[in-house]
């Protein structure tokens, strides 16, 4: 698994969530622009932010990181 594939999985999880990018940003304490960067640029969240995103989006970090397929 390379960084590009990790970013694709993260983007998919954000896109498929019931939350707007603004709601996600507020929940994980980053700016909406930062969430937009995760979606459109090769930007990856800090580990603490990734943990918050996984919890909010109800997805395992193992999935985002490509360690499992579910």
Rounded to 10°, the helix 3-15/32-40 angle is: 130
Residue 11 CA to residue 24 CA, distance in Å, equals 12
pLDDT digit string, tens, across residues 20-38: 999 999 999 999 999 999 8
What pLDDT, on the 0 to 100 scale, is given for residue 61? Answer: 94
**Helix H segments across 1-70?**
3-15, 21-28, 32-40, 47-57, 61-64
The better pLDDT of the pair 1, 23 is held by 23
Rounded to whole angstroms, the Cα distance separating 21 from 5 reads 21
Q: CA 37 to CA 12: how far, in whole Å?
A: 14
**pLDDT at residue 3 greater than cutoff 90:** no
Indicate the CATH number for domain 3-64: 1.10.260.40
């Amino acid at each position: 698994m390379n960084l590009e594939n990790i970013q694709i999985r993260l983007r998919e999880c954000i896109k498929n969530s019931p939350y707007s990018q603004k709601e996600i940003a507020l929940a994980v304490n980053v700016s909406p622009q930062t969430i937009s960067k995760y979606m459109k640029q090769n930007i990856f969240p800090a580990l603490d932010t990734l943990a918050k995103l996984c919890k909010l989006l109800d997805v395992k970090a193992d999935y985002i990181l490509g360690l499992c397929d579910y």
